[in-house]
Amino acid sequence: MGRRFSLSAQAEKVVIVEVTLFVGNLSKSTTEDNLNTLFTQAGDVTSVNVIKDRKSGVSKGFAFITMSAQSEADKAISMFNSHSLNEHPLKVSLTKQREQRGLIRVD
């Protein structure tokens, strides 16, 4: 009698490494659309979040932009750090990564 082996196929893990940028020194009139249009020149922008005062709704002068890849984020930094937008030189840098939250599954 031959032996039977059961092979379980492991699913390939697709890792999408999105990278978030801090963009500071924005004018109060800079919109998410303005930033999306600008940063799309460096690559795929997955989100733009201009931080606003909760009470007044006025921009606090900074935003977070998420790019779909590290290489695109690096390109955006080189293209737009010190770039003048609405007569304000932008300050663009990587945000510090937060640790992944959640359970770790060990099979």
Q: Which helix (H) or strand (E) is 94 found in, with range?
A: strand 91-94
- Domains of the chain: which residue ranges? 19-93
Q: What is the pLDDT of residue 38?
A: 97
Residue type, 10: Q
CATH number of 19-93: 3.30.70.330
pLDDT for position 17: 77
pTM: 0.75
User: In the predicted model, what is the mean pLDDT of the chain?
Assistant: 86
pLDDT in tens, 9-49: 555 565 667 899 999 999 999 999 999 999 999 999 999 99
Residue 82 contacts residue 89 (beta carbons within 8 Å)? yes
Give the separation between CA 57 and CA 53, rounded to whole angstroms: 5
Choose among 81, 30, 39: nearest CA to 59.
Answer: 30
Mean pLDDT of 38-66: 96
